[in-house]
């Protein structure tokens, strides 16, 4: 082609080529555990990272590789590694960076189970998270010390749909010589390209908008390839000799693909959070319609949020696309295609009204998921954010009087009618 392909073209074609053996146009599901080596020298070269190829499906698989190429292309990264879930991807994004007693700075407004993972689970590794309001840039910078190894945020935060000033955080992270990790699940690369804004690593729960139909779980890390892992001694896993590979230095050997190769050769080899090829196949098919679905998610969310904002039972709506939102100008500047399909609604009737509303809906599905073609609802304080303290729930945007809506691609008037009858029954 004489011009660079557009997003709509790349979401269909990137990483996908006719199968050389059969001519199959859709990427096949390579449902195999292992791969035959040409000879002993070929096997040795693969295991010694001297040659790229397929060894064992815990590490590499042709179906998964096609998905990795597509995600790296859509996000504008150098490489990508897929994992068994978004939560696995989060841990694996931190794994090469962290060591005992190291910390990272995390946004206060994050998915509830992510907060629990960062407060509780990572302590077993000797890591710690410092939670900061990322709109307070001075507080972000003040939280960074000599043991800080990353800054972590969500582009469009779950559950409230708040939009993050990624360039401002990237500037701080770059100043201190540490990577910025952005969870781009709620925005997808159609609405937001964090690497172009200065992010080092992008993570996704592919379970959500990328697949788009609630059929599989999966995660991915996209590496920008732009970070100098050898600029200081903070990241020895990438810059120093690796004992498991005869002293190989990942950054020196693989350059801008150092993080990607480490994620496969060490991360998947030793921790095994592998994405299965059937899940990769479903995700590839889902991504083919990503832009079409995201346009509808955004349009529907705007119409539903505007209606809810005027309802007498509603105390507040957090949708960043609304003119009343404090993040409205940021959306226009950084997220011009829209603020996504996720937001929260606070009810004047409190916790009990939220429960009645959830139980009265007919079209919305009450599930612990988001990003589906179907519209979804959940009361976060009693479910996804249940393990947090009341103070942490409020800080995360999941107060007891709040429900989270993930707006699907149905007729928006039908969604409004369903919400209307449910709010009437909720009372308060």
Q: For residue 186, what are its two tokens?
A: 């709620």
Which token pair is 412? 């928006």
**From residue 300, how far is each of 154, 338, 374, 411 by CA, in Å?**
22, 11, 12, 8
Task: Kindly calculate the radius of gyration of the chain based on its CA atoms and give it in whole angstroms.
Answer: 22
Q: What is the pLDDT of residue 428?
A: 57
Give the whole-number percent of the chain exceeding pLDDT 70. 98
Helices (H), 61-183: 62-75, 86-94, 112-119, 137-143, 166-175
By CB atoms closer than 10 A (0-12, 13-18, 19+), residue 315 is middle
* pLDDT recorded at residue 396: 66
Contact 90, 117 (CB under 8 A): yes
Q: What is the pLDDT of residue 10?
A: 94
Non-local CB neighbours of 193 within 8 Å, separated by 6+ positions: 75, 76
CA separation, residue 152 to residues 108, 136, 230, 278, 372 (Å): 10, 14, 21, 30, 25
138 burial type by CB count under 10 A (0-12 exposed, 13-18 middle, 19+ buried): exposed
pLDDT (tens digit per residue) in 362-416: 999 999 899 999 999 998 777 766 666 777 777 667 788 899 999 999 999 999 9
Residue 1 confidence class, pLDDT cut points 50, 70, 90: low
d(CA 331, CA 151): 21
Global model pTM greater than 0.85: yes
The predicted pLDDT at position 427 comes to: 81
User: In the prediction, which pLDDT does 319 show?
Assistant: 97
Q: Which of 321-325, 338-342, 388-392 has the lowest mean pLDDT?
A: 388-392
According to the model, what pLDDT value does residue 229 have?
98
Average pLDDT score over the chain: 94
* CA-angle at 51, arms to 252 and 20, nearest 5°: 135
Burial category of 55 from C-beta neighbours within 10 Å (exposed 0-12, middle 13-18, buried 19 and up): middle
- Residue 16 class from Cβ within 10 Å (0-12 exposed, 13-18 middle, 19+ buried)? middle
Neighbours of 20 (CB within 10 A): 7
What are the structure tokens assigned to 124, written together? 């077993």
SS3 335: coil
Q: What is the DSSP string of 365-412?
A: EE-S--S-SS-EEE-GGGTTTTTS-HHHHHHTT--TTEEEEE--SS-H
**For 124-137, what is the mean pLDDT?**
96
pLDDT at 420 over 80: yes
The pLDDT of residue 207 is above 70: yes
**Rounded distance between C-alpha atoms, residue 122 and residue 310, angstroms:** 42
Q: What confidence tens digit (pLDDT) does each residue in 164-179 have?
A: 999 999 999 999 999 9
Domains of the chain: 31-286 (3.40.640.10), 290-426 (3.90.1150.10)
Provide, for the chain, the percentages of residues in helix, strand and coil under a 3-state DSSP scheme, each rounded to the nearest 5.
40, 15, 45
The CA distance from 251 to 198, in Å, is 20
- In this predicted structure, the answer to whether residue 246 has a pLDDT above a threshold of 90 is no
CB neighbourhood size of 133 (10 A): 12
- The pLDDT score that the predictor gives to residue 15 is 92
Q: What are phi and psi of 204, to 5 degrees?
A: -140, 145
328, pLDDT greater than 70? yes
pLDDT (mean) for 19-37:
92
Q: Check residue 58 and give its pLDDT.
A: 95
List, for residues 54-96, the tens digit of each pLDDT value. 999 999 999 999 999 999 999 999 999 999 999 999 999 999 9
Are 351 and 194 a contacting pair, CB within 8 Å? Answer: no
| Per-residue pLDDT tens over the stretch 285-306 | 999 999 999 999 999 999 999 9
What is the structure's pLDDT at 195?
A: 98
């Amino acid at each position: 082609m004489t011009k660079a392909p557009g997003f709509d073209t790349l979401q269909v074609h990137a990483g996908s080529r006719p199968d050389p053996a059969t001519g199959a146009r859709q990427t096949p599901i390579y449902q195999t555990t292992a791969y035959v080596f040409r000879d002993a020298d070929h096997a040795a070269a693969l295991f010694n990272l001297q040659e790229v190829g397929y060894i064992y499906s815990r590490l590499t698989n042709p179906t998964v590789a096609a998905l990795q190429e597509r995600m790296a292309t859509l996000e504008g990264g150098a490489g990508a590694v897929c994992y068994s879930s978004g939560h696995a991807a989060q841990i694996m994004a931190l794994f090469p960076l962290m060591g005992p007693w190291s910390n990272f700075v995390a946004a206060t407004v994050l998915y509830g189970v992510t907060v629990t993972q960062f407060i509780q689970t990572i302590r077993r590794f000797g890591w710690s998270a410092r939670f900061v309001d990322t709109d307070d840039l001075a507080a972000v910078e003040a939280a960074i010390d000599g043991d800080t190894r990353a800054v972590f945020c969500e582009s469009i935060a779950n559950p409230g749909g708040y939009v993050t000033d990624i360039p401002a955080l990237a500037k701080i992270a770059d100043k201190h010589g540490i990577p910025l990790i952005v969870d781009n699940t709620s925005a997808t690369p159609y609405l937001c390209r964090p690497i172009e804004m200065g992010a080092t690593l992008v993570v996704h729960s592919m379970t959500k908008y990328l697949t788009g139909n609630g059929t599989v779980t999966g995660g991915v890390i996209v590496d920008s390839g732009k970070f100098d892992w050898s600029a200081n001694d903070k990241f020895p896993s990438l810059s120093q000799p690796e004992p498991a590979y005869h002293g190989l230095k990942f950054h020196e050997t693989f350059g801008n693909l150092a993080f990607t190769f480490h994620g496969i050769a060490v991360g998947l080899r030793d921790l095994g959070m592998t994405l299965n090829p059937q899940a990769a196949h479903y995700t590839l098919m889902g991504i083919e319609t990503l832009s079409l679905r995201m346009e509808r998610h955004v349009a529907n969310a705007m119409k539903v949020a505007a209606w809810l904002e005027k309802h007498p039972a509603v105390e507040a709506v957090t949708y960043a696309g609304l003119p009343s939102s404090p993040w409205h100008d940021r959306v226009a500047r950084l997220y011009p295609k829209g603020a996504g399909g996720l937001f929260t609604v606070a009810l004047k009737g409190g916790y009990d009204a939220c429960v009645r509303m959830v139980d009265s809906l007919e079209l919305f599905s009450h599930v612990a998921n988001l990003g589906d073609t179907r519209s979804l609802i959940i009361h976060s304080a009693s479910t996804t954010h249940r393990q947090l303290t009341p103070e942490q729930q409020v800080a995360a945007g999941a107060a007891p009087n709040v429900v989270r809506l993930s707006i699907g691609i149905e007729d928006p008037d039908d969604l409004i009618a369903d919400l209307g009858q449910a709010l009437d029954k909720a009372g308060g």
